[in-house]
Structure 1
């Protein structure tokens, strides 16, 4: 019993020390403490798994985080995989660990993408998608958001590698998830859905899959039309781009009459003038003028000070 108690005290101290070093951005020292923490907690978990396996999960995650900060991605991946494997076991015993597992999977995917091991990342991606679909609504929104970011990174990496078919797979999955998020939190995720749809259209056009591209493009136009009514300053230019994209799809499909309708609509959407939308533009114009006045005032004060032999304000280049 006493060895267990002493070990637990030592474990807590090492954990706290690692946290303090992390706060000071001294990641080498934090990692050293966390490695000791992992080793000790692993021993304690054999005697009392119910208490120490969750603590071991935390320690593995923290060590992986420190290694990422130190740009030691291969080693971080090893810890992240151990973290995933352990958290899978914990999640089978209690649903409380499902969000932690989703988190662990996301970080492992990110490691694999950064290392260019995209096929392995795909395996974890599929597991993560299945998992996120069964999470409670509150957690699902959070982890869907994290998954969207991970998918975007995956798409970018695949595009760089010229693996466009695989990039398209992830891009479509990203669109599906953003559809769910846009229904639940439209203000935040509709603009992201627009961006994802546009990228998917571009990828489909590049792969000569024009009919599919047209479906995504027409949906994109419909969404941006709604957004442009709410915020013309931001979304009218995007609507013009989406209309052009859709017209291009139709032209390549030899559907010129339909393409012409989109091109005519495009011509109607000139950039709005501030006088047409004072509620949108006047506050922005006022802020711009206020900032300009402030900068001019500071410059005048600085110029007068220099003329009188006063030093420039602290932190400014001389």
Structure 2
């Protein structure tokens, strides 16, 4: 099935996989209501069905929702982490029997449920992309070059961010970022992305340090210059104050490292702005992963 093209995929097949995804979610969500024997039985049922479901879904996601394929796979497994925590935990960890120490099993089940629910949401995004007349665009362009464009130009990722934020202003920014990214205005997309990440960082810091005192405000706001602090400064601030945050220190370090690649230190003789990035450069910054991690942290801190 790895060579499956758009023409081989039907709405009925995707709808059936979405239905199975909902069944998998039910198995996880109902597990807290049974005894140990019942728990293991449902867990085994989940593992058996999930492996088959994931194997069927992955080639469809790669073909129909290529912009979310990496995210879909990373929810199942990842090699890019410094440790296992509530932010980096994957479905594969659950299948391998890795649970959080000093936490009830329901805690791990809830995290796994969140991962599978996001995967099922990504799968749902494939439905609108199925049409009665569908064909392999990449193969078509290779055979019929249009205006001398490279064959990948019509199949490249159209979105930089596909995340539903808790703030409508942020969702508006996401739309603007994606519009600039799709049209090739990569510097605009990059600058707006950094600004959105900066605002998410501000939200996170203000949860822990609400603006009730000048001392708290000074953590994220430059009182002398009457402006919020820059992205890199905010990132280094949460690193310095990670002991004050009720978050996994390894996850904070991972977040800071990703952010700092977007905001490198400048030198006196260098330009005040970066070289105009390509779409590939923007994707390499893992902007959506940064935003996903930040919103997960914010949700956790609000609990």
Give me the TM-score of the superposition, normalised by structure 2.
0.23
Higher RCO (C-alpha under 8 Å, 6+ residues apart): 2
Give the structure with higher Rg (CA). 1
Give me the TM-score of the superposition, normalised by structure 1: 0.22
Give 1 or 2: higher helix fraction. 1
